[in-house]
Amino acid sequence: MGTIRNFEELEIWKLARELVNQIYADFKICNDFTFKKQITGAGISIMNNISEGFCRSGDTEFRNFLNIAAGSSGEVKCMYYIAEDQKYVTPGIAIDRRSECQKIINGTNRLMSYLRSSKTIRPSDHKTIRP
C-alpha cells in the first residue's frame, strides 16, 4: 500500500491532464464555439473533480467527486462521437480519445470501490491508496 500525498500523484489525474491537453489541441481551430466550450469544460471538470475530491476531508466526499469526474469522462467520450460525426476530428483520434476516457472511467470506478471497502481512517493531509 502506498501513500499518496498529492493529487498530482494519482494516475487518473495524470490521465485527465493529458486528455485535457489533447482536447485543447484537437479543437484549437474549431469554429463551433458552443461545442468547443462544452467539451473543454467537461475535460477540465474531470481534472478539477479528482483534485478537489482528493483535497476534501474524507473518503465519502472523495468518492462523490470521483463519481462526478467519471460522469464528465462519459460526457467527453460521448462528445468525441459528435466530433467524429461532424468531422471535427478523424475517426482514429475519436477512437483514441474515447479509449482514454474509458481508462479514466475505469480508474475512477476502481478507486471509488477501493475507498468504499477501505476500513482505514486516514488523516486529511494524505491518502493511503493502492496503485
**Which pLDDT score, from 0 to 100, does residue 121 have?**
46
Which CATH number is correct for 32-117, 1.10.10.10, 1.20.1440.60, 2.60.120.380, 3.40.120.10?
1.20.1440.60
**Which pLDDT score, from 0 to 100, does residue 13 have?**
97
Mean pLDDT computed over 75-79: 98
Name the amino acid, one letter, at 88.
Y
Mean pLDDT computed over 85-110: 98
3-class SS of residue 126: coil
All three cell numbers of 115, joined, read: 475507498
**Which pLDDT score, from 0 to 100, does residue 2 have?**
67
Phi, psi of 2, deg, nearest 5: -105, 160
pLDDT tens profile 55-69: 998 889 999 999 999
Domain parsing of the chain, residue ranges: 32-117
Q: Can you tell me the distance from the alpha carbon of 87 to that of 117, in angstroms, rounded to the nearest whole number?
A: 43
Q: Residue 100's closest CA among 12, 4, 38, 26?
A: 12
Query: Left (φ > 0), alpha (ψ -120 to 50) or beta: where does 87 sit?
Result: left
pLDDT tens profile 97-109: 999 999 999 999 9
Contact assessment for residue 65 and residue 50, using Cβ atoms and an 8 Å cutoff? yes
pLDDT tens profile 18-45: 999 999 999 999 999 999 999 999 999 9
All three cell numbers of 43, joined, read: 475535460
Q: Can you tell me the distance from the alpha carbon of 50 to that of 121, in angstroms, rounded to the nearest whole number?
A: 20
* Environment class of 78 (CB within 10 Å of its CB; exposed 0-12, middle 13-18, buried 19+): middle
Is the per-residue pLDDT at 131 higher than 70? no
**Which pLDDT score, from 0 to 100, does residue 4 have?**
84
3-class SS of residue 4: strand
